[in-house]
Amino acid sequence: MPQRVGGLFFRHVLREIALATIAVALILLILLLTNQLAFVLGRAAEGQIPARLVFELMALSLRENAMVILPISLLLGVILGLGRLYHDSEIAAAQACGVGTRTLYLAAGTVTLLATAISGWISFKDGPEAAARSTQIRLEALRTAVTRGLVPGQFRSLGSGATLYFARQDPDGTMRDVFVQHRVPDEEQMEIVLADRASYSVSADNSVYQITLVDGESYTGVPGGGAWRTVRFREQVVRVPTPEASLPGKPPVDVLPTSALVNSDDPRLQGEMQWRIASVIITLALGLMAVPLARLRPRQGRYSRVIWGVLLYAIYANLLIASRTMLERGDSPGWLGLWWAHALAIGLGLVFIYLPRFRDLMARRRATFAAAS
């Protein structure tokens, strides 16, 4: 009978923890999505990002940040799931039937192992791929941003010494009364083009602006010289290289594949590699520490342990950030890396969880000793 009760209770606990973890993860994803939506839409409104790429950037951002959301979702999911069972005395009833805390650890461990596997896949494979694609989109957007801000009646530099002007623009995007000035590739000459109308596009690899001019004249020569060549044309295509673009700050390392980080002597690459490992360890550690942390005393509120879970996560995460910064600055050796942060955070968590129980045990022993004497 206890074995049958244990099996039923295991599935019941597993369902409570899984549902609570999924609910917390969805809430955090919605909050993240809302924050990212405001940021990306602001960039799109300023012309820095093409509108057609907004939703792709949102999806990539979620993929990149999922490994940050997963540990706290698991921790709060276990605390909330077990907290309801403690609060409603279901765990007390199961223990009266002979079901021990082993069932709680098995149920929480099952969800934790699944979350740890997902975290590992995101950290070592999917996250870097999403970060690389996001960086590529942002760089391409910077290179082609000038064409999204073209306004009639304004001279606009296209980079590489090229300038574009047009007097008005048709609803279909055709430019009218066009002026283009650019240097002839591999020569000292300057070309000035006047055309009745023109259209522009960007090459498939975003490396070249292509301006197609119709019904005009081109003037080619050396500035300050008298020998200029004049050509009338029906159609002419001017190709201008898009400007080089770079993101602010140091080159990102989160876009690198894991294979490029292994056995590296660069402190930044070592920090990134150990950060990816840390996202797996923190998920596993918090999922298991959440079981004793979720234990409620009689008459305690159902959500009384949530604040302690958030505090534990905040301490753990900040220790990892500090240890990574120290490693990248060279303040700590590579062999030590982020490992001391794991040891310290887990040690503090266990002391925090079991110290009250140790005090209660000692108090009961003193009371027993006093009564016996």
DSSP states of 63-106 as a string? Answer: HHHHHHHHHHHHHHHHHHHHHHHHHTTHHHHHHHTT--THHHHH
Which residue, chain included where needed, has tokens 């894991």?
A: 258
What pLDDT, on the 0 to 100 scale, is given for residue 5?
A: 46
Q: What is the DSSP letter of 253?
A: S
Find the helix packing angle between 102-121 and 54-87, rounded to 10°.
170
CA dist., res. 205 & res. 22, Å (int): 40
CB-side neighbour CA atoms (13 Å) of 306 = 14
In tens, the pLDDT along 333-357 reads 888 889 999 999 888 888 877 776 6
What pLDDT, on the 0 to 100 scale, is given for residue 319?
A: 93
- Highest mean pLDDT pick, 155-164, 204-213, 252-261, 273-282: 273-282
pLDDT for residue 141 is more than 60: yes
User: 143, 245 in Cβ contact below 8 A?
Assistant: yes
pLDDT for residue 123 is more than 60: yes
pLDDT for residue 1 is more than 60: no
Going through 82-227 in order, the beta strands assigned E by DSSP cover: 156-159, 162-169, 175-183, 190-202, 208-221
Put residue 16 in one of left, alpha, beta given phi > 0 → left and psi -120 to 50 → alpha.
alpha
pLDDT for residue 2 is more than 50: no
- Highest mean pLDDT pick, 117-131, 139-153, 169-183, 297-311: 117-131
DSSP 3-state assignment of 160?
Answer: coil
Residues of the chain with pLDDT > 70, as a percent, come to 84
CA dist., res. 215 & res. 197, Å (int): 7
Nearest CA-CA partner of 192 in 180, 210, 176, 178: 180
pLDDT for residue 248 is more than 60: no
Beta bridge partners of 103: none
User: Residue 122 — very low, low, confident or very high, per pLDDT cuts 50/70/90?
Assistant: very high
User: Residue 15 — very low, low, confident or very high, per pLDDT cuts 50/70/90?
Assistant: very high
Q: What is the DSSP letter of 123?
A: I
User: Residue 48 — very low, low, confident or very high, per pLDDT cuts 50/70/90?
Assistant: low
DSSP 3-state assignment of 243?
Answer: coil
What pLDDT, on the 0 to 100 scale, is given for residue 262?
A: 87
pLDDT for residue 64 is more than 70: yes
Residues of the chain with pLDDT > 90, as a percent, come to 25
What does residue 298 show for φ and ψ, rounded to 5 degrees? -55, 135
What pLDDT, on the 0 to 100 scale, is given for residue 7?
A: 78
Q: What is the mean pLDDT of the chain?
A: 82
pLDDT for residue 360 is more than 60: yes
User: Tokens standing for 44?
Assistant: 């799109």
- Give Cα separations from 34 to 21, 290, 373 (angstroms): 20, 28, 65
pLDDT for residue 4 is more than 80: no
Put residue 249 in one of left, alpha, beta given phi > 0 → left and psi -120 to 50 → alpha.
left
What pLDDT, on the 0 to 100 scale, is given for residue 27?
A: 92
pLDDT for residue 105 is more than 50: yes
CA dist., res. 113 & res. 277, Å (int): 15
Give the distance between the most distant pair of CA atoms in the chain.
118
What pLDDT, on the 0 to 100 scale, is given for residue 26?
A: 92
Q: Is the pTM higher than 0.75?
A: no
What pLDDT, on the 0 to 100 scale, is given for residue 361?
A: 67
What pLDDT, on the 0 to 100 scale, is given for residue 55?
A: 81
Which residue, chain included where needed, has tokens 């149920």?
A: 107
Q: What is the DSSP letter of 124?
A: I
CA dist., res. 145 & res. 141, Å (int): 6
What does residue 60 show for φ and ψ, rounded to 5 degrees? -65, -40
What pLDDT, on the 0 to 100 scale, is given for residue 322?
A: 92
* 162-169: strand order across its sheet: 156-159, 162-169, 175-183, 190-202, 208-221, 228-241
pLDDT for residue 247 is more than 70: no
